[in-house]
Chains A and B, each alone.
Chain A
Amino acid sequence: MPERTPLDRVRDFFEVNEGYRLDHAAFEAERCLRCQDPVCIEGCPVNIPIPDFIHAIAAHNMPEAARLLRTANPLPAICGRVCPQEVQCEMLCHMTNRFRPVAIGALERFVADWERDQPVEQISGESTDKPARPARKEKVAVIGAGPAGLVCAGELARLGYSVTVYEGLHAPGGVLRYGIPEFRLPKDILDWEIDMLKRSGVEIVCNVIIGKTLTLDQLFDEFGFSAVFIGSGAGLPQFLGIPGENLNGVLSANEFLTRINLMRAYAFPESDTPLHLGKRVAVIGAGNTAMDAVRSSLRMGAEEGHIVYRRSEKEMTARIEEHHHAIEEGVQFHWLTNPIEILGDDEGWVTGLKCVRMELGEPDESGRARPIPIPDSEFVLPMDNVVLAVGTTPNPLLVKSAAGLETTPKGCFVAEETSGRTTRRRVYAGGDAVTGAATVILAAGAGKRAAEAIHADLNEDAGRED
């Protein structure tokens, strides 16, 4: 897929990938073998009919491609950009054995972007996909306007339910809004997807925190909702617990990215929220969040962006493309390097990161080789900021205020994988709130399955009432 050159893109937040043109896309689509056993579909958490929509592109039948895509995935423009296709559909593509796989993700994005350019009344959500279903009398509440909640809400609206999504922040989107930077997912694409949901009848209420502003009980007893889906994500940042973590200039990746993405710190002082960065920024961790943070630091004006990771490149969890883009943009990688202390000056500002070199041992409980410190190998990386991207856990605000909801020791909601049913009747959960921090598409899949379960359960309730 065409992309902007590193020098051109590294100082702004505009999108890196430029997307296919129709001739590119049709050419790439021709590469699909239309296998008898389309295993790519098995690799997709929402089972998009991949060969069918790709065939429609090859046949230049874009409306059909868009229809096929959107019926399976309500957020195609987003997933086409942020899914780790290389470990999902594209990994299973039969072309991978001898050549490179069909660029399924890039084609997904192409179709979704084409759709976005069409007059709104022709879009599948309205014309081809909106079923003539009778309106349902039941109301369903969705907690959290991130990927899980938005997809669940969209599916329920399609099934005829009246749906209200409660969002704690002042803008919907969840991690798509506050976490993923514009150079990977432009906000106008997110806004467009959310507009589509609103047009389909979903109501989104911001600035309401379930567990604080309203309780789960109030949603049932006072507001008359028949079912509630929890998609409250995994928003609580973890810290390492090493000395110096509270020095000025140390931030969680959540704070760092929220200041930039949600609060638009890159426009300061035109926007009121600042971000105080020095010349050298170290990001600890090697997942997608870490890559987003380190690449954002360069765009915010830092001269050096560093990734510090205690494991090796092989154990990195970031998408290959993000890693590749980070290398192109000049990010420096410190593999097998474990931070043990953040150093500061007399006034409490970060001056450096004390690290120890690691080597790989036997596999640990995660199945990855366990990093072991090499004795007497401490050294200091001079730094002005340290950003911690070492994972997040679900937010306990809701659990604290709701009886009957079981959680795991890590704070994740206990929910059936196939239906999202929790330990409380007519309460469902999905996405990062259940799995811990994972991917957008897994959250979308969970939201979709929960919507189906809600539909089945409410049908059953209605049957009993009759």
Chain B
Amino acid sequence: MYEILEKHTLTPITKLFRIKAELIARAARPGQFIILRVHEAGERIPLTIADYDSETGTITIVVQEVGATTRRLGALEEGEYILDLVGPLGNPIDIPEGGHIVGVGGGFGAAALLCFMRSATLRGDRTTTIVGARNKDLLLLVDELRIASRNLEICTDDGSTGFKGFVTERLKQMIDGDPPGRPDYIVAIGPMPMMRAVAETTRESEIPTLVSMDPIMVDGTGMCGGCRVTVGDTVKFACVDGPCFDAHQVDFDEAIRRTKTYLREQETACKRLETEGVIHAS
């Protein structure tokens, strides 16, 4: 059992949890993820470690309520417990030192960039974080990301704050030389369509670009193979070979198609949650 020490509501459907998990907090590195289970009949879902602190023995995760499990999780409060939590899983993000590192976060993926951007900044790299959302109310962890990176670029679809447009448009301007300058390495975390758009934006410039894949997964240790991702000519398991892969090599059509395998069942599970009143529809 893993205690929830802090909970913050970032947007109506996005919650941040700081959880006591000493062993995971000690072993975690930026880019890794955990798998958790909320109740006895619960499914196992992977979530990126947004932040960790080995001194306090805590990890931070950010959850967007899209399915039954994330809704159950979102309904938990400070002082309550998460039944099962295992990690850190996957490989840390590995980017050479000394370049201009640009993190691109879409939706709640921005949160997943937090510890990576901070560690790159602390080791002395030039860092820029580009975050985007539909409007200013849906932006996440802006203050934290501003501290964690040298530059912060905010994009909103409606222009309610920052740059009016998609993160990829702002990224394109930087590739073309706009301040804060052309990236040397790019890490994109967010919904798959957004990561595909980033891959397309950077493909021609050949700037090394990593995307953090979050496919369907059961165990997270290489056992089920549900998280197969085609990267170039080879099939990789996101859990043990990833979760980050060369964006220009990932077969996004296949990856997006595979995430739809259980859409119907997800609907069934959500309806059941609502009708049985386990959790109210948000």
B258-272 Cβ-contact flags toward A at 8 Å (1 or 0)? 101110111011001
Tell me whether A258 and B221 are in contact (CB under 8 A).
no
Interface-lining segment among A20-28, A74-82, A126-134, A265-273? A265-273
Contact of B224 among A168, A246, A255, A269 (CB under 8 A): A255
Q: Quote the shortest CB–CB distance from A101 to chain B (angstroms).
A: 36
What residue in chain A is nearest B263 (Cβ atoms)?
A: A276
What residue in chain A is nearest B67 (Cβ atoms)?
A: A272
Q: Quote the shortest CB–CB distance from B104 to chain A (angstroms).
A: 26
- Give the complex CA separation of A28 and B233 in angstroms: 58
Tell me the residues in window 68-96 of chain A with beta carbons closer than 8 Å to chain B beta carbons. Answer: none
Tell me whether A237 and B224 are in contact (CB under 8 A).
yes
A219 interface contact, C-beta 8 A = no
Tell me whether A170 and B225 are in contact (CB under 8 A).
no
Contact of A269 among B86, B87, B257, B272 (CB under 8 A): B272
Q: Quote the shortest CB–CB distance from B249 to chain A (angstroms).
A: 15
Number of interface residues of B (CB under 8 A): 41
Interface-lining segment among A204-212, A361-369, A402-410, A431-439? A204-212
- Give the complex CA separation of A420 and B74 in angstroms: 46
State the majority secondary structure of interface residues on B. mixed
Tell me whether B222 and A235 are in contact (CB under 8 A).
yes
Tell me whether A263 and B218 are in contact (CB under 8 A).
yes
Interface-lining segment among B41-49, B144-152, B162-170, B203-211? B41-49
Tell me whether A272 and B89 are in contact (CB under 8 A).
no
B140 interface contact, C-beta 8 A = no
- Give the complex CA separation of A31 and B222 in angstroms: 47
Q: Quote the shortest CB–CB distance from A118 to chain B (angstroms).
A: 29
Tell me whether B235 and A213 are in contact (CB under 8 A).
no
B200 interface contact, C-beta 8 A = no
Tell me the residues in window 345-369 of chain A with beta carbons closer than 8 Å to chain B beta carbons. Answer: 347-348
Contact of B44 among A263, A276, A397 (CB under 8 A): A263
A192 interface contact, C-beta 8 A = no
B residues in contact with A208, CB < 8 Å: 23, 86
The 15 listed contacts between A and B (C-beta, < 8 Å) are A208-B23, A208-B86, A209-B87, A212-B87, A213-B87, A214-B27, A235-B221, A235-B222, A237-B225, A248-B258, A251-B225, A258-B219, A258-B224, A276-B261, A397-B222
Residues of B within 8 A of A (CB): 23-24, 27, 37, 41-44, 68-69, 83-89, 218-219, 221-226, 228, 230, 235, 240, 254, 257-258, 260-262, 264-266, 268-269, 272
Closest A-B pairs by Cβ, 5 of them: A274-B265, A255-B224, A272-B43, A170-B84, A271-B41
Residues of A within 8 A of B (CB): 168-170, 178, 206-209, 212-214, 235-237, 239, 241, 245-246, 248-249, 251-252, 254-255, 258-259, 263-264, 267-274, 276, 347-348, 395-397
If A263-B44, A348-B258 are given as contacts, then 12 extra A-B residue pairs at C-beta distance below 8 Å, sorted by A number, are: A169-B86, A209-B89, A214-B23, A236-B222, A237-B223, A245-B228, A246-B235, A246-B254, A254-B224, A263-B218, A268-B268, A273-B44
